[in-house]
A and B are shown apart, each in its own frame.
Chain A
Amino acid sequence: MNTRLRKKIVDMVVEGKDGHIPSAFSIVDIISILYKDFLNFDSKKPLWEDRDYFILSKGHGCLALYVVLKDHGFLTENDLKFFCKPEGILGEHPDCTKVPGAEASTGSLGHGLPFAVGIALGLKIQGKKNKIYVLVGDGECHEGTIWEAANVANNLQLGNLCVIVDWNGSAAQLMPRDDLPAKWKAFGWNASVTDGHTEKDLKSALNEITFKAEGSPSVILAKTVKGKGVPLIEGHGPWHHRIPNKEEYNIIMEALS
């Protein structure tokens, strides 16, 4: 569990007076590991043709993406400082026309996966070997377009595509009768389940993905905790879109120490 990036996220939210902390804490370990060990990129040339693609479909978790992009040289400390400020480029959902390294402007759920299916198809047509990762929320999997896209991706045999589901139980708050692994398997995907906060488990699951030009796409269902790392904000309560006051800030930082 990456406490350094979590602290940075909290500071950005306090400074910007806005943001979704628990959603970012749910996925920051996944994104951090992807950029550290699995994605090919050149932060000096964000549009480098041979890069791998990471699409954050659940755009409201973008604080996790921003701090990782900063770690890898796409963004500067100054960019983070101006989160949600008029002079800044970072808002509560990523805008790919402003943010170097953000591949899609997401926020309305259910768009990122079908968009990524198009990217995967285009690269397959071109005979390129770029990998495409998409991170979707389990609540986002209520959207019909997720399953339209899942069906299309399997039928087009987009083996260059890997979905990671941030399986933090948001969906089950509303629709508890939901066997997500069985659903993805029923759509013909190679499905695995892993812990979404433990580096060793995540790496192991990601290493199992064999990106191929022709083959079934893969999905990793990452068991996560919304707000992971800080008991005060963990779970599905009022912290979804709440800014900590001074006292709460101290409690959060203490928990992350």
Chain B
Amino acid sequence: MSNKSMRQQFADTMLDIGQKDDQLVVLVGDISHFILQPFAKACPGRYYNIGICEPTIISMAAGLSKVKMHPVIHTIAPFLLERGFEQIKLDFCYQQLGGNIITVGSAFDYSNLGCTHHCYGDFALLKTLPRTQILYPSSTSEFDILFRQAYQNDFLTVYRLPSESHDFHFKPADIKLGKGIKIKEGNNLTIIVTGPHLKIAVAAEDSLKNSGWDTEIIYIHTIKPLDEEMVFNSIKKTKKVLVIEEHMQSGGLGDSVLRAIKDINDFQFESLAIPDMFVTGYGTYQDHCNTLGFTKDGIVSKITTSFNKES
């Protein structure tokens, strides 16, 4: 597995595509400026550090799209997605223009910076907008492959880049926009996980096996459009599902899963997500994960207290 950071992969992917596609333009809000210098040098006139004015960066990017460029906007998640929400809604989605938003500061990645820099309602917000695609690539190769698949299409595609990756390597052919990845087949429990917590989900599966659980694990990198078929077929079989997501419990992947399985009888649903609260504590990213239960033990506990194997 590569030790490269997600952000470095972003810069490398821009550099590679930018040298082949002269319609690619990168706009940043005073972040990642130095790692994007190879792109800036290789693609003169197509890199702009616009500064601290996120709504304007988004509108500008829509204008670039209007004249057939492929804009990429990059800065910290809440400033783009929450402050710039109306610009995304009207200038991109309503006007049917395609573009790309690459965020850092996923959920509580900026663990010590406080709630001003957190963003754990992004899936919910973006799902309300027609013509959006929401991707959460959590390994370098996933980002590279998914970006190449999506960046030229007519949707506004948001790529949520986490600071941690899940350390799994998938065959490139298995990484397809809108498709889940089945990590393991199982018969009496489905775990649907998105983001870097694939790692703890797989670790928990080992413990659960000892308790008699035969767990199916589905990894989701595309929140919208969701692979509803894979989700439906798995839960129809297992009748029990735990959805793990670093997102508010309301409006995220769990809600999309519920909508996808509404026609299944007698299923049991649980969610490991961020409750209806601000994450106001400080500490490392891992400290926040420990507090919120995003751990192997947290998953095992959630399953053993929520589900009965015999029911």
Contact = CB atoms under 8 A, between A and B. Distances in A.
Nearest to B46: A125
A125 B69 contact: yes
B307 interface: no
Interface stretch (A9-17, A69-77, A146-154): A146-154
Interface string A114-130: 11111111110110000
Contacts of A107: 90
A160 B164 CA distance: 43
A232 to B, nearest CB: 34
B53 interface: yes
Nearest to A132: B63
Given A151-B53, A152-B53, A156-B48, A105 B95 contact: yes
A210 interface: no
Nearest to A124: B45
A145 interface: yes
Interface in A86-143: 96-97, 103-105, 107-108, 110-111, 114-123, 125-126
Contacts of A116: 63
A149 B96 contact: no
Contact of A122 (B55, B64, B86, B94): B64
A108 B63 CA distance: 16
A124 to B, nearest CB: 8
A117 B176 CA distance: 35
B67 interface: yes
A193 B48 CA distance: 32
Contacts of A144: 55
B2 interface: no
* A contact patch SS: helix
Interface size class of B (residues with CB under 8 A): 20 to 34
Interface residues of A, number: 28
B103 interface: no
B55 A114 contact: yes
Contacts of B140: none
Given A145-B56, A148-B55, A114 B63 contact: yes
Given A114-B56, A145-B56, A126 B67 contact: yes
B25 interface: yes
B53 A148 contact: yes
Given A114-B55, A152-B53, A104 B95 contact: yes
B95 A97 contact: yes
B130 to A, nearest CB: 12
A119 B90 CA distance: 16
Contact of A125 (B45, B61, B65, B95): B45
Interface in B23-47: 25, 45-46
Given A145-B55, A148-B56, A118 B86 contact: no
B95 A114 contact: no
A151 B60 CA distance: 13
6 contacts: A107-B90, A111-B59, A115-B59, A121-B48, A145-B55, A152-B56
